[in-house]
Structure 1
Amino acid sequence: MEHALPTPAAPPRVVVLTGDVRPREMAEAERLGRVRYVREPQLADALPDADVFFMWDFLSDAVAGSWPSAGGPSWVHIASAGVDRLAFPALTESDVVVTNSRGVFDEPIAEYVLGLVLAFAKDLGTTVRLQGERRWRHRETERITGARALVVGTGPIGRAIARRLSAAGLAVCGAGRTARDGDPDFGVVKSVAALGEALAEADYVVLAAPLTAQTRGMVDAAALDRMRPSARLINVGRGGLVAEPDLVKALSAGRIAGAALDVFEDEPLPPSSPLWDMPNVIVSPHMSGDVVGWRDELVHLFTENLGRYVSGRPLRNVVDKRLGYVGSDAGPNHGGPNHEGQNQRG
């Protein structure tokens, strides 16, 4: 499948949806193209004349309603790994090429997941609470060496998580589209279709899958009932992977031991959510991949791809719009066909 676009005859018109924070380090992009920065109210007016659309505000829900009925960009780049907010028919059924920011968040998210596993095993939340109360209460904690982790999602983020947890001593397996043995990062990968069996064996269930029609609500009451009472759920994928009311009930009833949630169906998480007050829940504000310098890395990736676009070379991180993520013909580093790197499956 060919993903190189025709070399533009003139500097391309680039529309950037900025949100509250405008991207920095855009000098090279401004040299390569005619860049226009817009907020949501100006988006519908700007898109029809654009050659390129850079969705810097990757949490915006305005793109579908602003998409032009005629004309518009030939290439869309989003400043996130997930592309679910671009999954509307006018775009997915078109010839527009979509690329994502795969690769920027892999290692930071893996580190964050390891931190959450340690926080649960070593009961760090209780330690911090007791310190605030000036209470000395000795407890025993858990080992992570030998604990079993199931990583749902075998793309680059899932693989980075698997490597990090394996290095810390956990026994890791994966769940992806295709069951297989001998995977270099997971060893064993089980089919998502047989997820229930894998859930029953895990001490930690880590969700790192993209949000698609097939994965939405995959962790529901039935899935939670299959988990061990001592197990913890960690979600760094998308909030829609979890049926949140079912999770609240399972946590309240003690059917699982805890959850660490970095993503939610509604963001920001409403103050009325019972998840805020649950002692066995860690809530974080969609920050697991956001380390110092992450915004500059996102701009660098877009600018590199813009250079490829203006010279007619294949783009990095081309998304298979049918699947909702970079497809199986993509290398782990470059995300498009005919690039160096081993094939990425799952």
Structure 2
Amino acid sequence: MPGTDILFVWDFLSTAVADAWPAADRLRWVHVASAGVDRLLFPELRDSDVVLTNSRGVFEESIAEYVLGLVIAFAKDLVGTVDAQRERRWHHRETERVVGRTALVVGSGPIGRAIARMLRAVGLRVAGVGRAARDGDPDFGTVYPFGSLTDRLPHADFVIAVAPLTEQTEGMFNATTLATMKPSARLINVGRGAHVVTDDLVRALEGGVIAGAALDVFEEEPLPASSPLWSMPNVLVSPHMSGDFVGWLPALAELFVDNFHRWRSGRPLRNVVDKKLGYVPTGAAAWTGATEEGATHAG
């Protein structure tokens, strides 16, 4: 850290930056290879003048494809088909349609928008929950304010959590909010594990409060082998991989390289995070760093 102007945080789950922060004597810019920045919003960085950027723009379409796959997997009982095949059991049954079903996307940023577009394309009715309410949105139709989440949950067949992790969104799916959902509804979490109170979700699934869940992120990662979520028949577990497509690592590196050249030439940086909000606001002003002549040491 001593003498470093720029820090590229490749391991977005690491807590090493907070531990090393006292040695940062000239740091000006931190870039993280993820869309989420909650691990970096410790008080010293958040309250400093150091600029934080993320990797928005890399994962949107891949996560949207993953969510579409989960919606179809639930509606068409693909897990049941695979299980029956393994047992060599001819198990004919009816499955659900997705056309006309309702999806509520909690998080109206770029990833939420990509999810909304993809679900609309296959015939779902989509609404969003975000920081600011609005009608006539090109992707969501209607975006409801976060404070109305519990009012909107009873209307949704699929609830997709993709919001940034903030004080407002932490634990937003708990015993109270889960109880407002349809008994036939499924919860899909591709946002942050802390969006969901795990013990409350387990009880809701065991008690038939909701019909199922697909979880790509968890309060504790890796998910402990002792977790009941692994063996629940109405749960799909994946290891924090919804955005990770073939070629994602080079794409992350290319985004940083582009931003580094911008910093060196004094051009505006992409994806500047509002450290008070915890994400990149739509239409946020960009930040200009050093010029080409400025001395730079990247860590």
Whether 1:88 and 2:42 are equivalent positions in the alignment is yes
Q: Conserved in 2, the CA contact under 8 Å of 1:329 and 1:337?
A: no
Q: Conserved in 1, the CA contact under 8 Å of 2:153 and 2:180?
A: yes
Q: Could you say which residue in structure 1 is the equivalent of 2:267?
A: 313
2:177 to 223, 228, 233: 223
- SS state at 1:150 partner: strand
- SS state at 2:283 partner: coil
Residue identity matched to 2:245:
V
2:279 to 320, 325, 336: 325
Q: Conserved in 2, the CA contact under 8 Å of 1:326 and 1:336?
A: no
CA distance in 2, matches of 1:94, 1:186: 35
Alignment of 1:37-52 (within 5 A): 47-52=1-6
- SS state at 2:229 partner: helix
Residue identity matched to 2:253:
V
Whether 1:198 and 2:152 are equivalent positions in the alignment is yes
Whether 1:291 and 2:264 are equivalent positions in the alignment is no
In structure 1, stretches of 5+ residues that fail to align are: 1-46, 339-346
Q: Conserved in 2, the CA contact under 8 Å of 1:74 and 1:96?
A: yes
CA distance in 1, matches of 2:256, 2:174: 36
Q: Could you say which residue in structure 1 is the equivalent of 2:10?
A: 56
Number of residue equivalences: 288
Residue identity matched to 1:170:
L
Deviations 1:232-259 (A, max 9, x none): 0000000001111100000010100000
- SS state at 2:179 partner: helix
Q: Conserved in 2, the CA contact under 8 Å of 1:235 and 1:263?
A: yes
Q: TM-score, normalised by structure 2?
A: 0.94
Q: Could you say which residue in structure 1 is the equivalent of 2:93?
A: 139
CA distance in 1, matches of 2:22, 2:218: 29
CA distance in 1, matches of 2:124, 2:105: 12
Whether 1:71 and 2:33 are equivalent positions in the alignment is no
Q: Conserved in 1, the CA contact under 8 Å of 2:4 and 2:24?
A: no
How far is 1:180 from its partner? Answer: 1.3
Alignment of 1:124-203 (within 5 A): 124-203=78-157
Q: Could you say which residue in structure 2 is the equivalent of 1:119?
A: 73
- SS state at 1:119 partner: helix
CA distance in 1, matches of 2:200, 2:135: 32
2:164 to 207, 210, 222: 210
Residue identity matched to 1:129:
D
CA distance in 2, matches of 1:336, 1:111: 29
Q: Conserved in 2, the CA contact under 8 Å of 1:48 and 1:68?
A: no
Residue identity matched to 2:20:
S
Residue identity matched to 1:269:
L
CA distance in 2, matches of 1:50, 1:70: 7
- SS state at 1:200 partner: helix
CA distance in 1, matches of 2:212, 2:259: 41
Q: Could you say which residue in structure 2 is the equivalent of 1:26?
A: none
Q: Conserved in 1, the CA contact under 8 Å of 2:272 and 2:286?
A: yes
Deviations 1:106-128 (A, max 9, x none): 00000000000000000000100
Residue identity matched to 1:257:
A
Q: TM-score, normalised by structure 1?
A: 0.82
Q: Conserved in 1, the CA contact under 8 Å of 2:105 and 2:112?
A: yes
Q: Which consecutive segments of 4 or more residues in structure 1 shift more than 3 A?
A: 335-338
Cα RMSD for the two superposed structures:
1.2
Q: Conserved in 1, the CA contact under 8 Å of 2:106 and 2:159?
A: yes
CA distance in 1, matches of 2:61, 2:243: 8
CA distance in 2, matches of 1:210, 1:234: 15
CA distance in 2, matches of 1:61, 1:141: 45
CA distance in 1, matches of 2:76, 2:85: 15
- State percent identity of aligned pairs: 66
Summarize the Cα distance change of 1:72–1:172 in structure 2 as closer, same or farther, 3 Å threshold. Answer: same
CA distance in 2, matches of 1:301, 1:99: 11
In structure 2, stretches of 5+ residues that fail to align are: 289-299
Deviations 1:183-217 (A, max 9, x none): 11000111110101110100000001000111100
Q: Could you say which residue in structure 2 is the equivalent of 1:344?
A: none
Residue identity matched to 1:248:
V
CA distance in 1, matches of 2:104, 2:26: 42
